[in-house]
Structure 1
C-alpha cells in the first residue's frame, strides 16, 4: 500500500494544541531538565537527540542549554513553533512557574491563543485574599467569589475549565457532597497557613461540581487530569473510571468533558468511557467524553506511545480523539509534542489501514480530525477550511445570543472569537484597524481570501512615519525621529476579530505593530499597554480594570444661505426624555451592535450640551477596555452616519457650549477582589492604602498626563472651571469639579469607595496610551508610597487651588520635565508623541478655525 498521501496529510495539517501551559523566561529558576522525562529514560535520550538535531548542536544537555542561552528566547521560540506547525494554542495559565509569560505574550508565535481556566488554582487565589469588608470566608461568600465574581465573569473569554482534582483528592467525586461538609472542609483549609493549598476532599468535590455546572451552563468543556503525573499524585486515584458517579448524574447530562494525558496507564479505561458516553450511541441525552493524548506523547517510549494510542482507539470513536502537546515552560516541549504526535499518529493510522480497519482516505480524514477538527468542534473554535489549511488561525465573530440551561444569556461574540468558516462565509473584506499617536482610528481593508492566505499570519506593511502624523497633517512631525524610511508590520490580533454589525459582509480586527513576527515595535500602543499591565502585575500582583464614559455630539446637516452646515441634533437639556426619544432609533441600533460585539452598555442619556449624549460602558480589564472603546467609537459614528447624522467626539464642538469627554473609571483588582476599595469603613476616605498610593501618583503627575490624554489644543477649551470637568489640581469625594473623583456608585457599601474617576480624557485621545500614562503614574505612587492629600469637597478657589495646564503647550512643558513614563514607553516613542503634540500646537496656533474640521476625524 502507498501511504504517501497519509504521510503528507499528517505532516501538513496545522495543529490545534488543545492543552498547554505558559512559557517561562530564559532566566527562570525552573530548570530546563524539566522539559524531559527522567534522565537516562528512553524518552529522555530520544527527545534530547531530537532537540539537538533541530538546533544543530552537539548531543548533550549542556550543549543544548548553551545553544538556548546564546540564541535567546525569541529565536528558539520561532524555531520550535515553526517546526511544530501549531496554529492555535489553548493555555492553562494556572500552573505556578517562575517568571512565566502571560497569555498575550504567546500571541507572537502562533496566530491564535486562548485560555483554559484551572479551577483549583482560582479557588486558592481567592482564599489567599481577603473579603472587602474584612469578614472571614464562608462557603457562601467563597462560592459567590468563585462562581459569580470570577468564572461567570470570564466565561465569555475562555475556552474551557480544567480540574486537577486527581492531584488533590482523587477522581472519585462525591456528587452528593453536602454544603455542611464543604463548609467544614473550607474551615480546615483556612486553618492552615497561606498560601492556601486545597486538598480537603469535600471542598475539592464541591468546587468540581460547582465548576461543572457553570461549564454546562455556558457550554464550556471541562478538561480533567487523568492518569500519570508528578510524584504528588496518587496514581490509584487518577483512574478515569472513578468518574462514573459524575458521568451518571443527570444534572450534568449536557456536559462535555475531556480526559487528559491518554489517562495512561488507564488508556483502555478511557477508551471505554469515550465509547459509551457518546450521544451517537444512545437515545438518551448524556455527558460526552472526549480524549486528549498530550503528555503521554512525548513522555513515553516509542512503544509506549504507540501502544497507548492504539489502546485509545480500540473502542473510542475517532471524532473523540484530540491532539495536544501539554507543552510547558519551554518551547522545545511544544516541538517535541507535535513532532512525536505526528510520527505516532501516522504509525497507528498506517497500521489501521494495513489491518483493514481504515481505508487510506478514511485515515487521511482521521488525521485531520485528530490534529485539528475535533478540538475545533469541542472547544468551539471552528476554523477556516475545517482547520487544516494555512488559515487555521483566522478568527471571526460568532454573532448572536445563546441561552444557557439555567437562563443565563451568553453572547457568543464575547468569547475570544471563533475561528471562522473562511471563504465559505459571506464576508468579503476585513478591516485591519489601529490607533495612531494623534488618536485617530486608521484601517486597511483586506479581501478575505488574502487575509486568510497571508495577512492573518504575516500582516501588512505600514510606513513607520505614519506614527508621527498629527491630526490634520499627513507628514511626520518635526523632531519625531520618524521619516519615510522604514516599515513596520501590522499583524492582526485575531482574538479581537468581529463581524461588523452595520456592514455584515465585512469584519474588523485590531492590529499590533511588529518589526517582524515575534518582535513587537516600540511604537505599538497596544503593546505599550500590555507591557504597563505586566509591570503592575509583576511588581504588585495587581490588575487594573477600566470603564469609559463616552460623550459625543450628534450633528445634523442643514442648508444655510445655500451652504451645507453641520449643527447640533437638538438643544434639549440634560437627560431630556424627548431628546432621547428623537434619537432612539440611532441608540437602539448602537445598543444592539455593541451587544453583538460583546461590549456591555450600562446606560445612554442626553448630556448638558446641545445635541450631546453620553454612552457608558461596563468595566473590564484595561487592555480589553481600550479595545472596546475603539470599537464603541466606530459603532457610534457608523450608526449615526447610517441615519444621515454625524457623531463627533471632539472635546469642544462649539466654543460657547459644554465640551465632550471620555471619563474613565479605574479600579485595582487582586485575586478577584476590588482592592482599590478599603477593606472596612475605618479606612480614611474609604480607599485602601494601595488605592491611595496609586491615586496619589496619578494626582502628582496629572499636569504631565494631560499631554497624553488631552492631545489637542481643542482639548483645553473643554478643561475650564465650572464645567464639571476638573480644571484645578486636586481630588474630591463625589466632587464633580475635581479632575480626579473618588466614586461610590449604587451598591457600594456606605463609607467605602469603589473606583477612581479620571475626567481629563477626551474622545481624541489614544485609549491605549492614556491608560499607559495612568498606570505609569499610579505605579510611581505605589513604588514611592506617595501620600494622598486631603480632598477638596467644595468648588475650587482660584486663589488657593493650583490651576492645571490651561493649554497643550503647558501640559507638554510639564511632560518634558517629568520622567514617570520612562519604564513604560520607549524614549523614541515618547519623543515622537511629544513631537506630534508640538506639531498640533504649531498648526492650530496659525489656523484658529481648523478645529472645525476635526468633526470628520474624531
Structure 2
C-alpha cells in the first residue's frame, strides 16, 4: 500500500508547514488512487457551541459566570447583529477560544506595592489620575473586572475582593480567563516591588524575557559606580589618622570645608567625583555593554535563544525620540556619555547622541543573532512629545544597509500613528506591528479604529497581539478580552466588505493571536488541543518540559538520510544538555546505510574531535503517540561553540544566508512525503514484508482497510501543532504504523514492479513578502521572473550533481526511470510530470504565470537539509552567472532523442559532484568530500550485496 502525505500545495508550499493532504493510495500489486481534500493542521479552532454572553473562557472552555455578572455584562442585540453573529459563528468561536501568545507585557507587582490599583486603567498620575473613573475605558473595564470577580461594579468592591482573595488567587483567575499560552515579558519596569520572571511561570505555561537595552546600559553604569564608591570609601577609611595625630593644617582645612557648606559654596571638583565615582570611557562602556548583552544565553547562538531571551526592546521614544541617527559619531557619543556621567545617581540616560549610539550597537547585535527589536511608538508615557514618536522617523534606520535584515516591532499599535505604522509594515520587510496598550486605555471605538488602520495596508502575517499588561493581572485579562472582541469586529467587517472570506478571517485570527509571534520570536509553544479517534484520545500538553516528561529525544538526520537520536532523562536534558548539548564522536557523521562506521575516504575516525549536539529549542515537540516523551532537533557544533562543517542544517543555513545577503531573496519549500505500508508475513519459517493488501489503484476498499491508521497519524500530526520539520511528519507516520504491526517505509522502490515513492519538493523565491519566482508584466519567461529563470537555470545546469544529495542511494536509481513520472532526462517543463524540473501553476494563479517549481528527483533516502542546500547552491550560481534556460519540454522526454539522460546510477551523480566545484565552495569542502566518500561506499557495498537493499525498509 502506498500513501502520499503532501506538505506542499499552494499554501503549504508558501509557508513550508501546516498542511497535510492525503493525496494518493497505491498498492504494490496494483494501481489505485484516492484523492481527498487538504486538512488544516493546528489552525482551525475546535468545533463547539459559541461562547455566549455571560460566560468566561478558561483554557479555551466556556465557564458560566454568576447571575450578577450576566446581568452586568448582557448587551442588547439588534436582529441585524444577531444575524451577523450567526453568519460568523465560526469566526467568533476562533476569536474567543484561541489560546493567545501575549507578545509584549511587563512584570507583575507584589501585593505590598505602593502602586495604586486605579493605575491599571490609566497612564496618568497625580491629580490627573483622580479623574480616570470618568473615562469610557475605566467604566467599561471596571464592569468587566467586577463581572469576573462576581462583585458589585465599584472600585471599592473590586479592591475589597482583591485584598480578600490575595494576589495568587486573582492572578490565576485573570490568566485563566485570558487563556494565555505564552508570555513575553520585558525587564524595563521600574515599579515598586516587581516580581521576578520565575514568579510569572506559576500563571502562564511559557514565559520568555525581552531585554531593555537602555535599562541594561543604566544598570551597568549604576552598579559599577556604586561598587567604585564603596571601594573609595573603604580606601578613605583606611587612610584616616587617629584624632590625636591631626595637624593644625588638617583642622584648618576641615574648618574651611564646614564654612563652605554653611555658606552654600561647594568645591565642584570634589563634588563631581563623589557623585560620579566612575572612570568610564565610551570604549570601556561599549565593551561592558556588548559583553553583558551577549551573555544572556549561555552561548549566544541563534540556536539557543529560546533558553534565555527572545528579543530586545528600546524606549528611545520616551527619552530622545525616534529620529535615530544611524551614523552617530563616536565623538558625539563620547561627549554624551561624559555629560551623563556628570549627573547624580541613579543614572537615567536622556542624551540623544548616547541613546542613538546604544540603539545602533544593540540593533547590530539583534541582526547578528536574529533577535527582534521592540520599539515603543506612539502614546504611552506623559514624558514623551508625540511628534517625536511617529514611526516615520525610523526610516533612516530602515534604509541603512546594515539593517536590511533586522526585525523591528512597533509597539502600542503606533497609536495615534496607526496608519503610519501600517504603511511602514507594508513597504519595509523589517517592520512588524504589535497592537498592545490600546487595551484597556482606549474606548471600544478607539481600539477598533486603531486596529482597522493597522490592517489597511499591513500584511496580516506582520500584525501581533499583546496585552501590554503590567503590574496588575487585571490588565492582562482586559487586554485579552477586548482584543478578542475587537479582532472579531474588525475581521467580520472585512468579510462583509469582501476583503476576506470567512476561512481567511479565521486564519487571520490564528496568525494575529498566535502564529505570528511564535514565528517571529521563535517560541516553542504548542497550545493544548485534544482530538478523539474512536476510543483513542491523543493530546498534547500546552506546556512542554513539565514534571511528567521522562525522556527527551535529541534527533538529527545524518548524511545518509537516516533519522538518529540520543535519548536523555528529562532532568538531565533540562538541567544541563539543553544549553550545553551532548557529545557525539565525529566519526558518526560519516556512517552509511549498511554499517555504523565511517566510510573510507570521509577522513573521519573515532579518534577525531567530538562534536556537540545542541538542541534547537524552537523545534521542541511533545510526542503525541508516546506518553511522557519529547523530541527536539539538534544542531552540530564544535567544542568552541561554532557550527560544525559537517552539520546538514548548517549547510542549508549557510547557502540561504548567501542567497539573502547577495540577492535579498529567501526560499520557501514544501515536501511531499510518500510511503508504502507493508505487513509482516511468514513463509517457510522466514519473515517477509509484503503489501498491506492487493487492491487496485484508486480503490475505496484500500482506504477503508487502512483508514484507522491514517486517522491516528493525522490526529498525532494535529496534536503536534504546526510541524516545522519534515523529519517530524515522517517520525509520526512510521511510529503509528509500527504501533499497528506494519511498516511505513519511505524507501524509493521496495518493489521493482511498482512506480515507487518519492519526496518531491516544491520551492518558491521571496523578497519583501512577494513571490519573485513568478513573472510580471515587465518580464515573463514562461511564467517566471528574471530572478526565477536564472535560479531555475542554475538548478537545471547542476542537476546531475544535485542528484548525489537528492537521490543519494544506489536504490534511488531504480525509481528514476523513463515513463515513471520521476524525471529521468535533463529537461524542464511547465506542468510536465515526466520532467525532473516542473514549473507549477496551481489554482488561483493566472494561467500565464507560475508560482513555484518542483524537483521530482528527490526521494525518502535524502537528508532534506542537504538536498535543499544543494538546490539553493545551484540556484545561487544561476543568479550569479545570469544563466538561461533552454526551451521547455512539452512532450514525454523519452520520445525526444535530443534530451540527455540524467545519470543512470549513483556513480554518475557522484562523478558529476566531484567535478562540480561550486558545491565545495558554498557547502564546504569537508562536508562534500565526506558525502562523496559515503556514496562511493554505498555503491561498492550494494554492488556486492544486491539483496541487502530489502533490509532498508527498516531504515527509511
- Alignment CA distance shift 1:116-1:821 (3 Å): farther
Q: 2:901 is matched with which residue?
A: 803
Pairwise CA RMSD: 5.2
> 2:544 is matched with which residue?
420
Q: Deviations over 1:40-66 (max 9, x none)?
A: xx889548879999xxx9953335668
Given that residues 550 and 763 in structure 1 are in contact (C-alpha distance below 8 angstroms), is that contact kept between their aligned partners in structure 2?
A: yes
The residue aligned with 1:347 is none
Alpha-carbon separation, structure 1, partners of 2:223 and 2:552 = 42
Contact 1:547 1:665 in 2 (8 A): yes
Match of 2:925 in 1: 827
SS of 1:533 mapped into structure 2: helix
Deviations 1:342-385 (A, max 9, x none): xxxxxxxxxxxxxxxxxxxxxxxxxxxxxxxxxxxx9999xxxx
For residues 241 and 647 of structure 1, the distance between their equivalents in structure 2, rounded to whole angstroms, comes to 53
Equivalent position of 1:561 in the other structure: 684
What is the alpha-carbon distance in structure 2 between the residues aligned to residue 93 and residue 689 of structure 1?
Answer: 39
Q: 2:564 aligns with which of 442, 458, 466?
A: 442
CA contact (8 A) 1:709 1:766 kept: yes
8 Å contact 2:544–2:622 — kept in the other structure? no
Instruction: Output aligned runs, 1:187-586, within 5 Å.
Output: 212=435, 222=436, 243=442, 257-259=466-468, 277=475, 279=477, 397-400=526-529, 420-423=544-547, 426-485=548-607, 486-516=609-639, 518-586=641-709
In the alignment, the residues of structure 1 paired with residue 228 and residue 650 of structure 2 have an alpha-carbon distance, to the nearest angstrom, of 33
1:181-209: CA deviations, max 9, x gaps?
x7xx899x79xx987999xxxxxxxx97x
For 1:371-412, what per-residue CA distance to the aligned partner results, in whole angstroms no more than 9, with x for missing partners? xxxxxxx9999xxxxxxxxxxx9957444179xxxxxxxx99
Alignment of 1:717-736 (within 5 A): 717-736=814-833
Q: Using the TM superposition, give the Cα deviation of residue 659 of structure 1 relative to its aligned residue in structure 2, in angstroms.
A: 1.7
| Structure 2 counterpart of 1:18, from 186, 209, 214 | 209
Quick check: 1:658 aligned with 2:785? no
CA distance in 2, matches of 1:51, 1:830: 54
**1:822 positional shift:** 3.2
1:650/1:854 contact within 8 Å kept: yes
Q: d(CA) in 2 for partners of 1:709 and 1:118?
A: 47
| Counterpart in the other structure of 2:411 | 163
1:847 aligns with 2:847: no
Equivalent residue of 2:601, what SS? coil
**1:592 alignment counterpart:** 715
Aligned equivalents of 1:538, 1:79: Cα separation in 2: 24
Q: Which aligned pairs between 1:39-50 and structure 2 lie closer than 5 A?
A: 46=222
Could you tell me which residue of structure 1 aligns to residue 871 of structure 2?
A: 774
Q: Is the 8 A contact 1:651 1:718 kept in 2?
A: yes
Deviations 1:200-256 (A, max 9, x none): xxxxxxx97xx75xxxxxxxxx378xxxxxxxxxxxxxxx9974567876999xx97
Cα distance in 2 for partners of 1:770, 1:93 equals: 38
- 1:681 and 1:751 in contact (8 A); partners too: no
Cα distance, 1:505 vs structure 2: 2.1
Match of 1:747 in 2: 844
Contact 1:693–1:785 (Cα < 8 Å) also in 2: yes
CA distance in 1, matches of 2:375, 2:698: 42
What residue number does 1:25 align with? Answer: none
Query: For residues 767-826 of structure 1, what are the alpha-carbon distances to aligned partners after superposition, in whole Å with 9 as ceiling and x for unaligned?
Result: 000000011111111111111111011011463111111111110000000012234322
Deviation at 1:577, TM superposition (A): 2.3
Cα separation, partners in 2 of 1:242 and 1:487, compared to 1, 3 Å = same
Does structure 2 retain, via aligned residues, the 8 Å contact 1:461–1:490?
yes
Q: Does 1:691 align with 2:803?
A: no
SS in 2 for 1:536: helix
CA distance, structure 2, for counterparts of residue 49 and residue 802 of structure 1:
74
> Matched residue of 1:554: which SS?
strand
- Give yes or no for contact 1:710–1:761 (8 Å, CA) kept in 2: yes
CA distance in 2, matches of 1:251, 1:58: 47
Q: 1:750 to 1:20 in 2, by over 3 A?
A: farther
State whether residues 772 and 787 of structure 2, in contact with CA within 8 Å, keep that contact through their aligned partners in structure 1: yes
- Please tell me whether the aligned partners of residues 528 and 542 of structure 2 are also in contact (alpha carbons under 8 angstroms): no
The structure-2 alpha-carbon separation of the partners of 1:680 and 1:504, relative to structure 1 and needing over 3 Å to count, comes to farther
TM-score (norm 1): 0.60
CA displacement at 1:529 relative to structure 2: 1.5
2:309 pairs with 1:89: yes
Question: Which segment drifts farther, 724-733 or 791-800?
Answer: 791-800
Q: Is the 1:557–1:567 contact (alpha carbons within 8 Å) kept by the matching residues of 2?
A: yes
Q: CA deviation at 1:10?
A: 6.7
Q: Distance in 1 between matches of 2:797 and 2:789?
A: 12
Q: How far off its partner does 1:67 sit?
A: 9.2
Whether the 8 Å contact between 1:103 and 1:115 is mirrored in structure 2 is yes
Give the Å deviation of 1:642.
1.3
Residues 458-500 of structure 1: CA deviation (Å, up to 9, x unaligned): 2211111000011011111111111002211111111111111
1:645-678: CA deviations, max 9, x gaps? 1111111212232121100010111222222111
- Please report how far the alpha carbon of residue 445 of structure 1 lies from its aligned counterpart in structure 2 after TM superposition: 1.4
Closer/same/farther in 2, CA of residues 489 and 547 from structure 1, 3 Å limit: same
Superposed, 1:142-153 pairs within 5 Å as: none
C-alpha separation in 2, matches of 1:814 and 1:51 = 65
Q: CA deviation at 1:449?
A: 1.7
> Taking CA–CA contacts closer than 8 Å with sequence separation of 6 or more, which of the two structures ends up with the larger relative contact order?
2
Cα deviation 1:516-556 (Å, max 9, x = unaligned): 47422121111222222222222212111111111211111
Task: Return the alpha-carbon distance in structure 1 between the equivalents of residues 676 and 832 of structure 2.
Answer: 24
Contact 1:680–1:686, Cα closer than 8 Å, also in 2: no
Aligned to 2:737: 640
Residues 439 and 766, structure 1, Cα contact 8 Å, conserved in 2: yes
Q: Distance in 1 between matches of 2:372 and 2:891?
A: 48
> What 5-or-longer segments of structure 2 have no aligned partner?
1-191, 202-206, 230-277, 315-323, 327-359, 378-389, 400-406, 452-463, 485-512, 517-521, 532-537
1:726·1:759 contact (CA, 8 Å) conserved in 2? yes
Query: 1:712 Cα shift?
Result: 0.6
Quote the Cα distance in structure 2 between the aligned partners of 1:474 and 1:482. 13
CA distances 1:620-640 after superposition (whole Å, capped 9, x unpaired): xxxx4xx2x101111111111
Q: Distance in 2 between matches of 1:457 and 1:828?
A: 27
Shift of 1:436: 0.8
Question: For 2:841 and 2:311, how far apart are their aligned partners in 1?
Answer: 36
Matched residues, number? 596
Q: Classify 1:287/1:749 alpha carbon distance in 2 versus 1 (closer, same or farther; 3 Å).
A: closer
1:62 matched to 2:277: no
- Aligned 8 A contact 1:48 1:60 in 2: no
Given the two structures, how large is their TM-score scaled by the length of structure 2? Answer: 0.54
Partners in 1 of 2:289 and 2:798 — Cα distance?
Answer: 42
3-state SS, counterpart of residue 822 of structure 1: helix
